[in-house]
Structure 1
Amino acid sequence: MRNVPGRAVPVNGRHVYVEESGQGQDWVVFEAGGGCGRTCWDPVLPLLASEARLVAYDRAGRALSSHSTQRLSIDDLAADLIAMTEAVVPGEFVLVAHSMGGLVARRAAERLAPRLRGLLLADVLPETSPVYDTWDQTTKKIDRMLAVTQTLTRFTPLARLFSGNMRRLFPADAYRTMLAEDFTPAGTSQTREEIQAVAAAVPQFRAQPPRLPACPTIVLSAGRAERGRERQHAANREHQRRYAETLPDGRHEDVDSGHFVQAEQPRLVADRIRQLLAASRKTDGQRC
């Protein structure tokens, strides 16, 4: 999987690194979660390679994409996603997003609406969730932890230690690339930037939520909670379900998985993408 050729695509005065794979008439675009790049979709892409054209990329500042001297907001990242698809994807497509990437995808979907055939949100947390009520404090705690990690990831053995959960979840070649690109001082620095972007975006999303997508949308919730976070996890799942119920054509589904649904349940994710592609064909071009 890691021998996929890529290219730098200009977007908004910078560039993002894009990998294209697969074949067919359908197109699927993937938006990674916070702290991750294109490699986090490696478990899913081979399952769809014979059925669709697949586009995975690194957000600006991450991995092989260019770095910006200014802090990029969720709106900036959404604008990059829009520009990237305009440059790479010739027509309509299904958009798939994980975790923080869901904020980027939902904001981008407002302008992408005429081109979106469907939307798959994998364990994406709506801004209504009570976990965001104290997100400023949470962000400070996470940032302090990552500041230490940023220094220590200069040493490969420690980087392996900090990323042990990813090593268990992802294919070996994908993990090696993550270790070289994401679990580094530069990669950790960008993760800190993305967490700050989320903290700034939540009040904006609460004050003025993105327009609801009208196209077929599937919201997946990770069914397994981390130990000690069962109550918070249940509240998150409830708000994911409520968000799906507000959509004109939305569906919520609990998945037997931890947060990285695409790694633990790649076949299910691939199947739900197929369902969105099939649904958009049946509705003869209904769009978001």
Structure 2
Amino acid sequence: MRQETGRAVRVNGRTVHVEESGEGPDWVVFEAGQGLGRTSWDAVLPLLADRARLVAYDRAGFGRSGRTAARLDIDDLAADLVAMVEAVVPDRFVLVAHSMGGLVARRAAESLQPRLRGLLLVDPTPESAPVYDTFDQTAAKVDRALSVTQQLVRFRPLARMASGNIRRVFPADTYATMLAEDFVPDGIAQTRKEMRAVAAAIPRLRAEPPALPTCPTVLLSASRPAKGRAAQHAAIAEHQRRWIDTLPDGRFEEVDAGHLLQAERPDTVADRVGHLLGRVPGRSAPPA
């Protein structure tokens, strides 16, 4: 398995595991998607290691972070991200977030905005997307399925079967760590908690969306839908475009990849981070 070391950082009465790598004058912070942690950025980090200080972490309850019995909502997760940044990052930085992490990052950006040099969202689902119209029902169905998975992953061959989509796209050493840390009963339990947190947050986010980021923002949209979800995927992409069009300095870009874009196209993610590090607010982004 991967051998990166990290440190425990106290945030709001909880503990999160933080790994720092890379060198240079700039800073980049990574926020994972649902059910994933710091390891989900493993393919991207080496591509930026000679350019910036890189900070990846596990949210409370995941990976090597401390377990928590609390029912954390999206605002709690955002507050943990803010507290972690304040404890670890001394300068302005680019924030990168995947999938559900985009909701966390956008809420955190309300507090972090003065320090943000740029925001890179990797295939997020805006709260306005139709997929969230009945998400409470979807979340309930997924929770029932995950309750079974939570028991099955006690048996490691079954854990490998349940994580086949991860195994296919992530490096072998990264997958081995994910299997050991995330595809375990506690990790699945935390994924279930976060699914419920998203379902509870959507009505509030629709009623009072997070303030729009004023920093340069890039949204990478995965262009390859999961099997049988072409219509849903097209609707999400449309709402991604609509959201980015509301920003004073936003850019939408489709990428030939599935939802785990950072694993399939780490070069693209790293390149767009580099563009944001080189941006001056108000100046047009360079072409792809």
Q: What TM-score does the superposition give when structure 2 sets the normalisation length?
A: 0.97
Q: Secondary structure at the match of 1:202?
A: helix
Give, in angstroms, the shift of residue 90 of structure 1. 0.4
Aligned counterparts of 2:231 and 2:69: Cα–Cα separation in 1:
39
Give, in angstroms, the shift of residue 281 of structure 1. 7.9
Provide the residue aligned with 2:241 in structure 1.
Answer: 241
Provide the residue aligned with 1:63 in structure 2.
Answer: 63
Aligned counterparts of 1:184 and 1:131: Cα–Cα separation in 2:
28
Provide the residue aligned with 2:229 in structure 1.
Answer: 229
- Superposition map of 1:93-104 within 5 A: 93-104=93-104
- Is 1:171 matched up with 2:174? no
Provide the residue aligned with 1:286 in structure 2.
Answer: none
Aligned counterparts of 2:215 and 2:95: Cα–Cα separation in 1:
11
Q: Is the contact between residue 98 and residue 121 of structure 2 (CA under 8 Å) also seen in structure 1?
A: yes
Partner deviation per Cα, 1:125-165 (whole Å, 9 max, x = no partner): 00000000010110011001100000000000000001011
Aligned structure 1 segments of 4 or more residues deviating by more than 3 angstroms: 280-283
Look up the equivalent residue of 2:84 and give its one-letter code: M
Give, in angstroms, the shift of residue 282 of structure 1. 8.5
In structure 1, stretches of 5+ residues that fail to align are 284-288
Provide the residue aligned with 2:138 in structure 1.
Answer: 138
Aligned counterparts of 2:282 and 2:24: Cα–Cα separation in 1:
18
Give % identity: 67
Give, in angstroms, the shift of residue 66 of structure 1. 1.2
Provide the residue aligned with 1:36 in structure 2.
Answer: 36
Aligned counterparts of 2:282 and 2:107: Cα–Cα separation in 1:
26
Aligned counterparts of 2:282 and 2:213: Cα–Cα separation in 1:
18
- Is 1:7 matched up with 2:2? no
Aligned counterparts of 2:63 and 2:169: Cα–Cα separation in 1:
20
Count of matched residue pairs: 283
In structure 2, stretches of 5+ residues that fail to align are 284-288
Give, in angstroms, the shift of residue 67 of structure 1. 1.8
- Superposition map of 1:68-87 within 5 A: 68-87=68-87
Aligned counterparts of 1:107 and 1:264: Cα–Cα separation in 2:
27
- Is 1:266 matched up with 2:266? yes
Taking only aligned residues, the RMSD between alpha carbons, in angstroms, comes to 1.1
